[in-house]
């Protein structure tokens, strides 16, 4: 996998050289053995027909009818679930079966065909939440931004209100490239609804890579990098939800539970982002940590692939075993809200959810806290909100 918008990374030969001179080659006892099965894949093995699920015409009509049915109930969008978004039994079973593939198969599923439904903005949000509830029934809410559904778009042309001038924009609101990452403590499954792929101006391609395949390679090539990823001393910069001051939270970038590696590696809280520099009060990354970032990025590029994408797709990506990236994309001032636009939610399916490390279980559970208000905005009228982009994404 390669893309001119993504920076070059070390070759495998240089990784082997670094590992040979700076690490012990024996596999540490603390690391589980290589991951076997369909979770560990390379880009050449992942053809679109393996993960794209086409909706039939009658299924699309069934989803449209469910959208209308929900609107007639007069309920808030936070009440969307399998009961308030009723579908025919065949489609219910079809969507529910996708969860096993997401959690224990290739880790990615794309539901295709909703572009033909011609949904307006409100209907699209309802359809996204409704369909997703039949795949993974629980929705996460970001405890920092108090938001359940986010709009991924270029907000650099928006007028900045006075109160937001010092906040900056999160990576999801910028047209810049994003390197491979897995969003931290956000939810088990990343769901994205492609409202506009931005093809009219180009760029914005999405890439995915199996972290299990990366893990297997590092067991052989650079086990020291895995030990570094699992060490609980990564200096993540967070912000207090009330007074917004940055503070340091130490923790691992990779967790081990149930015999599987769990990737929760985000770079914005470690390196800063284009619009939100890292606070000078934060400690720098160590040489070993910088090396681990480079190793993982290099292997993600080697083993990754471009995600097949069309308008109307709903993408389900397992956020614990799949890393994702994005190339830079074009923008035009005249586009306004008609440019590249994706809707994002994080989900969980209790029936298929992976085990989490006990010591960090509250972190993984927090987005799904019972009773938390769910905010599913139809339009992104306030791209700044309270979130700064360093909390968990990018």
pLDDT, one tens digit per residue, over 167-226 is 777 778 888 899 999 999 999 999 999 999 988 888 899 999 999 999 999 999 999 999
Cα dihedral across residues 245, 249, 253, 257: positive or negative: negative
Beta-bridged to residue 79, according to DSSP, are: none
Question: How does DSSP assign 251-320, residue by residue?
Answer: E-SEEEETTEEEE---SHHHH-BTTBPPPTTSPPPPHHHHHHHHHHHHHHHHH-EEPP--TT-EEEEETT
Neighbours of 355 (CB within 10 A): 12
User: pLDDT by residue (tens digit) across 277-301?
Assistant: 888 999 999 999 999 999 999 999 9
Beta-bridged to residue 380, according to DSSP, are: none
In the prediction, which pLDDT does 9 show? 46
Task: Write down all domains in the chain, each with its CATH number in brackets.
Answer: 12-368 (3.60.130.10)
- Would you give the DSSP letter of residue 186? S
Nearest to 102 by CA among 198, 227, 190, 212: 190
| Gap between the Cα atoms of 87 and 95, Å rounded | 10
Q: Is 130 exposed, middle or buried (0-12, 13-18, 19+ CB in 10 A)?
A: buried
For residue 308 the two structure tokens come to 């097949």
Indicate the pTM of the whole model: 0.91
For residue 123 the two structure tokens come to 């209907």
In the prediction, which pLDDT does 382 show? 74
- Would you give the DSSP letter of residue 180? E
| Gap between the Cα atoms of 270 and 283, Å rounded | 9
Helix then strand then coil, in percent of the chain rounded to 5, is: 35, 20, 45
| Gap between the Cα atoms of 381 and 206, Å rounded | 25
| Gap between the Cα atoms of 203 and 192, Å rounded | 17
Residue spans of the chain under pLDDT 70: 1-29, 241-244, 332-338, 385-394
In the prediction, which pLDDT does 179 show? 96
| Gap between the Cα atoms of 129 and 60, Å rounded | 15
Cα dihedral angle (173, 178, 183, 184), rounded to 10 degrees?
-100
In the prediction, which pLDDT does 23 show? 41
In the prediction, which pLDDT does 28 show? 44
In the prediction, which pLDDT does 8 show? 47
What is the Cα gyration radius of the chain? 20
Beta-strand runs (E) in the chain: 52-54, 108-112, 138-139, 150-153, 178-181, 189-196, 206-210, 234-239, 246-251, 254-257, 260-263, 305-306, 314-318, 322-326, 341-348
């Amino acid at each position: 996998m390669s893309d001119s918008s993504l920076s070059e990374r070390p070759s495998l030969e240089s990784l082997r050289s670094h590992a040979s001179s700076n690490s012990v080659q024996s596999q540490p006892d603390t690391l589980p053995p290589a991951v076997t099965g369909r979770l560990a894949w390379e880009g050449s093995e992942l053809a679109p027909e393996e993960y794209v699920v086409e909706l039939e015409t009658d299924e699309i009509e069934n989803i449209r009818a469910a959208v209308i049915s929900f609107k007639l109930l007069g309920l808030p969008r936070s009440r969307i679930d399998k009961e308030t978004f009723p579908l025919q039994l065949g489609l219910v079973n079809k969507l529910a079966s996708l969860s096993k593939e997401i959690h224990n198969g290739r880790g990615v599923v794309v539901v295709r065909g909703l572009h033909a439904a011609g949904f307006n903005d409100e209907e699209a949000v309802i359809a996204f939440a409704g369909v997703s509830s039949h795949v993974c029934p629980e929705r996460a809410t970001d405890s920092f931004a108090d938001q359940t559904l986010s709009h991924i778009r270029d907000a650099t042309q928006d007028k900045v209100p006075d109160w937001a001038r010092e906040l900056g924009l999160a990576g999801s609101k910028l047209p810049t490239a994003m390197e491979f990452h897995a969003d931290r403590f956000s939810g088990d499954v990343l769901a994205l609804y492609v409202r506009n792929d931005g093809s009219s101006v180009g760029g914005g391609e999405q890439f995915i890579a199996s972290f299990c395949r990366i893990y297997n390679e590092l067991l052989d090539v650079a086990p020291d990098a895995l030990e570094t990823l699992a060490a609980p001393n990564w200096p993540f910069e967070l912000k207090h939800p009330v007074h917004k001051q940055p503070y340091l939270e130490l923790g691992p970038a990779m967790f081990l539970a149930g015999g599987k590696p769990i990737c929760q590696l985000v770079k914005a809280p470690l390196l800063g982002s284009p619009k939100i520099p890292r606070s000078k009060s934060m400690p720098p990354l160590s040489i070993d940590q910088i090396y681990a970032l480079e190793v993982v990025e290099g292997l993600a590029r080697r083993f990754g692939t471009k995600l097949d994408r069309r308008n109307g797709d709903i993408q389900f990506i397992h956020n614990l075993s799949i890393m994702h990236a994005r190339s830079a994309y074009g923008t035009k001032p005249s586009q306004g809200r008609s440019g590249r636009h994706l809707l994002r939610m994080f989900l969980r399916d209790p029936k298929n959810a992976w085990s989490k490390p006990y010591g960090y279980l509250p972190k993984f559970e927090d987005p799904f806290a019972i009773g938390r208000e769910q905010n599913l905005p139809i339009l992104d009228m306030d791209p700044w909100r309270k979130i700064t982009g360093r909390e968990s994404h990018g």
